[in-house]
């Protein structure tokens, strides 16, 4: 995981997403576990990583990417 991603998630504004393609999800969170689609292990690790920065995480297989974002309280 590049340290720059820590900074991105620390400073991510509400309602803005950080999009990560499947190949990077596999490289960062589940090396050698497979990326077509990313392994459950990699997706769980990505979700756990996001929580460290108070971010939600969701994987979109049809787009072949995962998204981190800050949860927005009811508007």
How many CA within 13 A on the CB side of residue 55? 28
What is the span of the domain harbouring residue 30? 3-70
- Reduce the DSSP state of residue 73 to 3 states and report it: coil
Find where tokens 């999009």 sit. 19
Q: How far apart are CA 25 and CA 40, in angstroms?
A: 11
Question: In the structure, what pLDDT confidence band is assigned to residue 55 with cuts at 50, 70 and 90?
Answer: very high
> pTM value?
0.88
How many CA within 13 A on the CB side of residue 56? 12
The confidence score (pLDDT) of residue 31 equals 82
Assess if residue 75 is contained within a domain.
Answer: no
Assess if residue 39 is contained within a domain.
Answer: yes
Residue 18 structure tokens: 């950080």
pLDDT per residue over 2-40, tens digit each? 789 999 999 999 989 999 999 999 999 988 776 678 899
Assess if residue 9 is contained within a domain.
Answer: yes
Query: How far, rounded to the nearest angstrom, does the alpha carbon of residue 4 sit from its chain's CA centroid?
Result: 14
């Amino acid at each position: 995981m590049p340290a720059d991603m820590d900074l991105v998630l620390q400073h991510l504004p509400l309602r803005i997403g950080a999009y990560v393609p499947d190949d990077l999800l596999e490289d960062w969170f589940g090396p050698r576990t497979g990326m077509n689609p990313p392994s459950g292990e990699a997706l769980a690790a990505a979700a756990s990583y996001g929580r460290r920065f108070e971010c939600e995480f969701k994987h979109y297989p049809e787009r072949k990417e995962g998204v981190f974002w800050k949860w927005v309280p009811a508007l």
